Structure 1
Amino acid sequence: MIVRTWSARATKAGAQSYHRYFESILLPQLHRLRGFEGAFLLGREQEPLVELTSHTLWTSLDAIRGFAGDDIDAAVVEPEALAMLSDSDSTVVHRSVLLSDRGPG
């Protein structure tokens, strides 16, 4: 499994809007893609902004290409989402999952 990580910064209101967008618009689109395995959206307050990191889980680099195209290191962010953010990274990082454990419950 591969984790694709992207970062952005937003005001508190922008972070809340992006959270709603991620949950209601982006996730349903991702769930339709072959090889998509799930996602985490994390937030960290860094006054006056909130740092957001998106971690999407994929079965392979080929599955990521199905989402991102040939340049898999380029961030894929719709203009609608960019409008909610103060700034965002133009590239992403991919990491192989070596171990996954979410506990007994």
Structure 2
Amino acid sequence: MIAREWKATCPKEHEDGFIGYLYETGIKDTSDTKGFVGAQILKRDLGNSTEITLLTFWEDIECIKAFSGENISIARLYPEDEKYKLNPERHVKHYEVRENMWL
């Protein structure tokens, strides 16, 4: 299994709106892709802004390519991201999941 990590920051006043938009775009698009296993959205308070981390989980790299295109290190951004004054990372990180345990 492969974990794909993407991060962005946005002003606190746009946090809830952006997370809702993230469900409508990134989560919907990934969950409609063959080989998608799951996702987590994490948030961290940075004072005046919020850091949002999207972790998606995939069966393998080929499944990620079906979502992102051939260059899997480039973030897939959406047209209305600017509406939330988003400061997105342009690149994503990938990790091999060695263990996954939930209590």
TM-score normalized with structure 1 length: 0.90
Q: What code does the residue aligned with 1:69 have?
A: G
Q: Secondary structure at the match of 2:43?
A: strand
Question: Aligned residue for 1:52?
Answer: 52
Distance 1:85 1:4 in 2: 23
TM-score normalized with structure 2 length: 0.92
Distance 2:65 2:26 in 1: 17
What do you get for the CA RMSD once the two structures are aligned? 1.3
Deviations 1:1-52 (A, max 9, x none): 1000011000112221111112234323222110111111100000110011
Deviation of residue 61 (structure 1)? 0.4
Question: Aligned residue for 1:32?
Answer: 32
Q: What code does the residue aligned with 1:79 have?
A: P
Query: Which segment is superposed worse, 16-25 or 63-72?
Result: 16-25
Distance 2:74 2:19 in 1: 21
Question: Aligned residue for 1:63?
Answer: 63
Deviations 1:37-92 (A, max 9, x none): 11111000001100111101111000000001011000001021243143111000
Question: Aligned residue for 2:41?
Answer: 41
Distance 2:73 2:26 in 1: 19
Q: How many residues align?
A: 103
Q: Percent identity?
A: 26
Q: What code does the residue aligned with 2:31 have?
A: H
Query: Which segment is superposed worse, 17-26 or 28-37?
Result: 17-26
Q: What code does the residue aligned with 1:17 have?
A: G
Question: Aligned residue for 1:99?
Answer: 99
Distance 1:2 1:61 in 2: 7
Poorly superposed stretches of 4+, deviation over 4 Å? none
Q: What code does the residue aligned with 1:38 have?
A: G
